[in-house]
Amino acid sequence: MTAAEQIEKIFRAEHGRVLAALISQFEDFDLAEDSLQDALVNALERWETDGIPRNPGAWLTTAAKRRAIDRVRRSTTLERSLVTLDPQISQDEPEMDDSQLPDDRLKLMFTCCHPSLAPEAQVALTLHTLGGLTTPEIARAFLVSEPTMAQRLARARAKIRNAGIPYRVPPIDLLPGRLDALLAVIYLIFNEGYVATSGDSLTRQELSREAIRQCRILVDLLPGEAETSGLLALMLLHDSRRETRLSPTGELVLLEEQDRTLWDSSKIQEGIIILDSAIALHAPGPYQVQAAISALHAEAPTAEATDWRQIAALYTTLATMTPSVVVEVNRAVAVAMAFGPQTGLDILLQLESQAEGFYPYHAARADLLRRTNQREAASDAYKRALELCGNRAERAYLQRRLDEMIDL
Amino acid sequence: MKYLLLMYASESMFPPPEEIQADVPAWHALLQETKEAGVLISTNGLAPGTNATTVRIREGRTMLTDGPFAETHEQLGGYFLLDCKDLDEAIRWAEKIPTVKYGSIEVRPLWSPGS
């Protein structure tokens, strides 16, 4: 790793904690961000020549605080002069130890994921403030222009300030709902990096990695929340199959056709250990159930050895927790695998009116019709799925199946 | 009779800053006149709509939306002007307004310098 790469890695790792501490001290999101940007520019120059300091987080915090105070002094607006200055910071302050840095990242997470902000703004803010991703990087990941992303971030920050979104860990009565919102944002970031196939694959991988990193921090800072651990386990288990879910030509590869020897066994092991610790808390929830389903796939040595009965039962549980067409379609597939394709087709038939415009429904139906040798009906279903599906990798898969139906 | 006069305008069609500036004396004159006439109870500007949050309760669950998204068929039916610590406190009060169960409550900060 070059010095520049190493510095960038440190910036990413320290960004959230330093920014959170600055916002706590100055009670001003914009001032904290601007000062941290100054400090990062400063650090880039200094560290490349002097080497990386022993406590980079503390170095950045001290530098940013000085910049913030400079900014406040230079600023003449009423707003800025209201900031209370900490008289203890001076130019010759001895270097702090990183362990003395307060960890206010939880506050920052809850502020960035406040449900009064639009979901896409929550995602962008979280990546920017906690993940230290730059505006161009986030813009690239979400396929929007840089000015659009910059405006989205600026608007969200303005709302935090103008609407009085609090900077704190929510009180106990609000916590469950707000934690759900926070987990939803993390999972959204993960899926954006995992499911979508458009855009730069490296950037995408970065998103999934960042979601896992943020979830780990959340598990550390707010321990004892079963669903947080459940989500972490779920993401690790999904991510263990990242390399095998697409063929070299970019076609989606179904679980049963993936090369299991290429699955990342260390991620699987870690995911299962974390899931077990979550289940031991006796507070079941949809992330834990989905992680359990993913674990059953991961543990099966071959596709044939998959415990489909157990998976079907877990989907039934999931359907009672979070009823949706998506869950029902998945349940139908699992039931088909456990008890034969016709049982699955029967479940799908009942969904027809709600699921007509939903391509996974048609894709699942097509696969089950194919398995029962109803080739013509399967072709029609593949065609309908293709009409509705916009994902390149999945389209490639559906097209191949459709061609097989016609060729035979 | 008490009347609520609501100022509607499209934020995207605001006149240029010079024109807004040119209106300042007219605002002051209006305030003065309404005060002198004894008709003014209270007036305030609002922060731009991008700072709004819409609160609804449906089937017992609170739903928050970014922005002023009342349904087009919904009519303004009243208002509370509250002094709260932060947005979470304002949302708590909004949740107690009975119409939140079938209508929507737009929580909008008052205009302040810099907003």
Number of neighbouring beta carbons within 10 Å of residue B40: 13
Say if residue B3's pLDDT is above 90: no
Q: Which helix (H) or strand (E) holds B56?
A: strand B53-58
CB contact under 8 A, B87 and A165: yes
Confidence category of residue A408, pLDDT binned at 50, 70, 90: low
pLDDT tens digits, A88-147: 444 444 466 777 777 899 999 999 999 999 999 999 999 999 999 999 989 988 888 999
Confidence category of residue A326, pLDDT binned at 50, 70, 90: very high
Contacts of B47 in chain A (CB under 8 A): 162-163
A40-46 long-range Cβ contacts below 8 angstroms, 24+ apart: A40/A11, A42/A67, A43/A7, A43/A11, A44/A7
Residues contacting A32, CB < 8 A, separation 6+:
A19, A22, A23, A26, A64, A68
Which spans in chain B are helix H? Answer: 17-22, 24-36, 87-96
Among A115, A164, A177, select the one facing B86 at the smallest CB separation: A164
Cα A370 to chain center, whole Å? Answer: 34
Q: CA-to-CA distance for B65 and B55, rounded, in angstroms?
A: 7
Q: CA-to-CA distance for A38 and A31, rounded, in angstroms?
A: 11
**DSSP secondary-structure letter at A246?**
B
CB A182 within 8 A of CB A114: no
Among A163, A170, A177, select the one facing B51 at the smallest CB separation: A163
| A 110-149 residues inside an 8 A Cβ radius of B | 114-118, 121
Residues contacting A136, CB < 8 A, separation 6+:
A146, A149
Cα A311 to chain center, whole Å? Answer: 24
CB contact under 8 A, B51 and A177: no
CB contact under 8 A, A159 and B86: no
Say if residue B80's pLDDT is above 80: yes
pLDDT tens digits, B52-72: 999 999 999 999 999 887 777
Shortest Cα–Cα distance, B63 to chain A (Å): 8
Q: What pLDDT shows up at residue A327?
A: 95
Shortest Cα–Cα distance, A115 to chain B (Å): 6
Q: CA-to-CA distance for A135 and A146, rounded, in angstroms?
A: 7
Nearest Cα residue in chain A from B53 = A116
CB A210 within 8 A of CB A131: yes
Q: CA-to-CA distance for A212 and A189, rounded, in angstroms?
A: 9
For testing the chain A interface, which of B46, B65, B87 should be mutated: the one with the most A CBs within 10 Å? B87
CB contact under 8 A, A162 and B112: yes
Among A77, A79, A164, select the one facing B109 at the smallest CB separation: A164
User: What number of residues does chain B have?
Assistant: 115
Nearest Cα residue in chain A from B90 = A164
pLDDT tens digits, A269-320: 999 999 999 999 999 999 999 999 999 999 999 999 999 999 999 999 999 9
Largest CA distance in chain A: 81
Which spans in B6-65 are helix H? Answer: 17-22, 24-36
Contacts of A121 in chain B (CB under 8 A): 66
For testing the chain A interface, which of B11, B46, B66 should be mutated: the one with the most A CBs within 10 Å? B66
Give chain B's contact residues with A (Cβ, < 8 Å).
47-48, 50-53, 62, 64, 66-67, 84-88, 90-91, 107, 109, 112-115
Position with higher pLDDT, B11 vs A374: A374
Query: What Rg, from alpha-carbon coordinates, does chain B have?
Result: 16
Number of neighbouring beta carbons within 10 Å of residue B56: 21
Q: CA-to-CA distance for A382 and A361, rounded, in angstroms?
A: 10
Say if residue B107's pLDDT is above 70: yes
CB contact under 8 A, A116 and B91: yes
Provide the phi-psi class of A224: left if phi over 0, else alpha when psi is between -120 and 50, else beta.
Answer: left
Name the residue type at position A393: A
CB contact under 8 A, A116 and B66: yes
Number of neighbouring beta carbons within 10 Å of residue B8: 5
Provide the phi-psi class of A170: left if phi over 0, else alpha when psi is between -120 and 50, else beta.
Answer: beta
CB contact under 8 A, A118 and B67: yes
Contacts of A177 in chain B (CB under 8 A): 62
pLDDT tens digits, A221-263: 999 999 999 999 999 999 999 989 888 888 889 888 999 999 9
**What DSSP letter does each residue of A336-371 carry, written as one string?**
HHHH-HHHHHHHHHHHHHHHTT-HHHHHHHHHHHHH
Say if residue B8's pLDDT is above 90: no
CB–CB contacts below 8 A, A to B: 54
Confidence category of residue A74, pLDDT binned at 50, 70, 90: confident
Contacts of A155 in chain B (CB under 8 A): 50
CB contact under 8 A, B62 and A118: no
Phi, psi of A366 (to 5 degrees): -60, -45
- Percent pLDDT > 70 in chain A is 93
Instruction: Return the closest-CA partner of residue A25 out of A39, A14, A11, A36.
Output: A36
Phi, psi of A65 (to 5 degrees): -60, -45
Nearest Cα residue in chain B from A115 = B64
Number of neighbouring beta carbons within 10 Å of residue B75: 7
Interface residue A224 vs chain B (CB under 8 A): no
Q: What pLDDT shows up at residue A325?
A: 93
